[in-house]
Amino acid sequence: MSGGGITPSDRFEKAVKLTLADGQMRANLRHATTTIRRKRQRAQDEVPDWQELRDRAARMKDDAHARLPELLIQLEERVQDAGGRVHWARDAAEAREIVAAIAAGYGLNRVVKVKSMTTDEIELNDFLASRGIAAVETDLAELICQLAGDRPSHILVPAIHRNRREIQELFRRTLGADLPTDNPAELAEAARLHLRRTFLAAEMAVSGANFAVAETGTVAVVESEGNGRMCLTLPRVLATVMGVEKVFPLWSDVELMLRLLPRSSTAERMNPYTSFWTGVRPGDGPQEFHLILLDNGRSRVLADPSTRETLRCIRCSACLNVCPVYERAGGHAYGSVYPGPIGAILTPQLLGMEHGEANSLPGASSLCGACLEVCPVKIDIPRILVELRAKAGVKPAESAGLKAAAWAMASPRRFEAAIRWARRGRGLAPLLPGPLSGWLQGRDLPEMPARSFREEWRRSR
Amino acid sequence: MRVQLFVTCLNDAVFPKVGLATARVLEAVGCRVEFDERQVCCGQMHLNSGDEASGRDLAVRMAEVFAEAEAVVSPSGSCVAMARHFWPKLAGDTGRIAAQKTFELSEFLTHRLAQGLGRGWTPEFAGRVAWHSSCHGRRGLGLLDQPKALLRQVRGLELLEIESEDQCCGFGGTFSVKNPDVSLAMMDDKLDALEATGAEWITGTDSSCLMHLAGGLSRRGSRLKTIHLAEILAGGAD
């Protein structure tokens, strides 16, 4: 199993109990995110006009989204002009059917995959398997997840929850690799040998896309390992599943993104493997190209002006790496292939705020603001988390406490009476709505003072 | 200068010492301190908990109280960040006017001292003090070195800093009770770092974070104690 979709099966506060208990995973995550945080900061500090670049990127994304229908139709025309085919998928089910039908149309029972969040979002691998088509992940970390039967837990580093020793053991067991040590180079070599045979035999590849350019009909994939390049060039058939929000009007727009994305995600100055293709070219690369444009809730996200900037996301994962909640909870607690701060706002919006499990995700934040500070397209994640908490509505159990507090706080006299009441009951309950047991789980309450500030003030002045 | 003290609902109810200390510090730098008893809560707790209607109602009430003031000063980075970033949206023009003159204590002091005011003010506090940076002050108001620079001026005080200063302590308002498991995991890491400094005190700009940390310290049986920045700047704990 890999992929995993975007539908959480539990509310975050419940799911997190399991993941927090996994000490090994927490240690792995802490090590990995601490390292990548430092590197990213250095990569950002090298660029003097970083803040201006962020502003420009945010504007560019917003402008593209404001004219999305027009851009998508232009993209469709250009891709078709260049010999590709374009499919429109309203939701995950339609997109999966389209990909399966393409493979079946060529009589294939095996596809190789480029690392792709979008195909994970639509749970493509499991669906293809149900149609007798094997999907083989070729990104090293995705391969690790696939071999281990894990769900990815990070956007960029799907196996971030695993350490070298665990991977050494996994490769020994599943690939029959002769691995005397957990040296990273040797682990990668074992995966390479396994994958090389797979690439050479592959007849169809499935990818996602980082960007598309409407004016030229070009699609782009940004990756670090070169496995993507293999998939995008060797097989005869290529199917790309792309979220509709990824399109830009101009070829020149991509330049800015290629400056921001690598520094934000892998802390590299320049991305190692960046593949662009425009339709098909006879005798070179795939001879059949299918572009599947996926909505899957994105139109609904765009329809709300207060939270639509969520779709600016370029999946760099910088917000995951700086998030203190993500670092401890781990990706699996979010129940979606989009974890961390961006997942906490994207997942519930894609599913709709009425989703009873997903709408717990905006609560998975202390609102510390670290995510906004690093976001290369300046998504105001803390503000959107607050907006979404309001849209999710307050649970009845919490509502009574909040309403009581609001009533008391709406009048200084009532507030003073509430303080006196709290003092007598030696409890902060009216001032700290919500389950008090949550507080007492690991913290003592402060002693209530003999007099409130306003009483002290009156006495002293 | 006449300064309206925005004490915050938490300090009013639970930490009156912090309010009194804030008033003493402001007077020490030459301000005339007033306290408008109509004030209660800035609305942040309700807004952040998903009850936008109540948050708006409380924010509007507070903005109306403070819009008339010459300047408003509060011993809380979080409540001031709420005022600055959300009152204009929730309380319109009144919110904007009130927000423009509302400052966090260390922010206000830094500005005032830079103008050469409050020269006679010579705070003293004997002890090893570890600095806790609160997120809303840090990221919402840009309070990075200002509070620490004030602490460095305190005679007898040894300032200790931690590498993970920019990491949240896990309080997060009602996050602390709705997601206690993660909140406590964050708190534990923060307390480990603070305890490792060998400090006797933890100080910061926000009673909320300090209450959370103090609750954890008490549960650990630690000898480390929390003290608000205002209490140190006022000359020490009562």
Residue of chain A minimizing CA distance to B86: A383
The phi, psi pair for A415, rounded to 5°, reads: -65, -45
Crossing angle of the two packed helices A253-265 and A50-66, in degrees rounded to 10: 120
| Burial (CB count within 10 angstroms: exposed 0-12, middle 13-18, buried 19+), residue B221 | exposed
**Contact list, B7 vs chain A (CB under 8 Å):** 453-454
Q: First and final CA of chain A: distance in angstroms? A: 70
Q: Are B231 and B237 in contact (CB under 8 A)?
A: yes
Size of chain A, expressed as the number of residues it contains: 461
> What helix, strand, coil percent values describe chain B, rounded to 5?
55, 15, 30
Name the CA dihedral angle for A29, A31, A36, A39, rounded to a multiple of 10 degrees. 170
**Contact list, B139 vs chain A (CB under 8 Å):** 368-370, 372-373
Residues 6+ apart with CB under 8 A from A41: none
Beta bridge partners of A261: none
Whole-Å CA distances, A61 to A155, A264, A309, A438: 20, 17, 8, 40
Residue indicated by tokens 């300046």: A378
* Predicted local confidence at residue A360, as pLDDT: 97
* Predicted local confidence at residue A422, as pLDDT: 84
Whole-Å CA distances, B96 to A449, B103, B138, B187: 34, 13, 21, 34
Cα separation, A331 vs A319, whole angstroms: 12
* Predicted local confidence at residue A427, as pLDDT: 58
Q: Are A131 and A108 in contact (CB under 8 A)?
A: no
The phi, psi pair for A289, rounded to 5°, reads: -130, 125
CB contact under 8 A, B13 and A328: no
Cα separation, B206 vs B137, whole angstroms: 9
Whole-Å CA distances, A425 to A408, A418, A420, B92, B121: 16, 10, 9, 38, 41
* Predicted local confidence at residue A1, as pLDDT: 36
Nearest to A389 among B50, B179, B216 (CB): B50
Question: Which segments within chain B are labelled E, that is strand?
Answer: 2-5, 32-34, 71-74, 102-104, 124-131, 155-160, 201-204, 225-228
Whole-Å CA distances, B11 to A454, B40, B203, B224: 10, 10, 15, 21
CB contact under 8 A, B218 and A17: no
Q: Is B100 helix (H, G, I), strand (E, B) or coil?
A: helix
**Contact list, B14 vs chain A (CB under 8 Å):** 428, 431, 446, 448-449
Q: pTM for the whole thing?
A: 0.95
Residue extents of the structural domains in chain B = 2-111, 124-233
Residue of chain A minimizing CA distance to B218: A444
Query: Span B124-233: which CATH code?
Result: 3.40.50
For residue A50, the one-letter residue type is W
**Contact list, B38 vs chain A (CB under 8 Å):** 412
**Contact list, B136 vs chain A (CB under 8 Å):** 367, 369
Question: Which segments within B8-152 are labelled E, that is strand?
Answer: 32-34, 71-74, 102-104, 124-131
* Predicted local confidence at residue A433, as pLDDT: 53
Is the reported ipTM for this assembly greater than 0.90?
yes
Nearest to B178 among A393, A422, A438 (CB): A438
CB contact under 8 A, A20 and B185: yes
Q: Is A385 helix (H, G, I), strand (E, B) or coil?
A: helix
Cα separation, A182 vs A435, whole angstroms: 46
pLDDT (tens place) for every residue of chain A, 461 residues total: 344 899 999 999 999 999 999 998 899 899 999 999 999 999 999 999 999 999 999 999 999 999 999 999 999 999 999 999 999 999 999 999 999 999 999 999 999 999 999 999 999 999 999 999 999 999 999 999 999 998 888 998 888 888 899 999 999 999 988 888 999 999 999 999 999 989 999 999 999 999 999 999 999 999 999 999 999 999 999 999 999 999 999 999 999 999 999 999 999 999 999 999 999 999 999 999 999 999 999 999 999 999 999 999 999 999 999 999 999 999 999 999 999 999 999 999 999 999 999 999 999 999 999 999 999 999 999 999 999 999 999 988 788 889 999 999 999 999 999 999 888 875 555 555 557 888 999 999 999 999 999 999 999 88
Residue indicated by tokens 């389209």: A98
Cα separation, B237 vs B72, whole angstroms: 24
Residue of B8, B138, B182 for testing the chain A interface, max A β-carbons within 10 Å: B182
Q: Give the tens place of pLDDT for each residue, B120-163.
A: 888 999 999 999 999 999 999 999 999 999 999 999 999 999 99
Cα separation, B36 vs A418, whole angstroms: 19
- Closest by CA to A116, choosing from A94, A146, A89, A74, is A146
Domains of chain A: 12-298 (3.40.50.10420), 396-460 (no CATH)
* Predicted local confidence at residue A177, as pLDDT: 86
Residue of A10, A13, A328, A366 for testing the chain B interface, max B β-carbons within 10 Å: A366
Whole-Å CA distances, A407 to A396, A421, B28: 16, 15, 37
Q: Are A310 and A341 in contact (CB under 8 A)?
A: no
- The ranges of chain B with pLDDT < 50 are 237-238
Residue of chain B minimizing CA distance to A386: B48
- The rounded Cα A104 to chain-centroid distance in angstroms is 30
> What helix, strand, coil percent values describe chain A, rounded to 5?
55, 10, 35
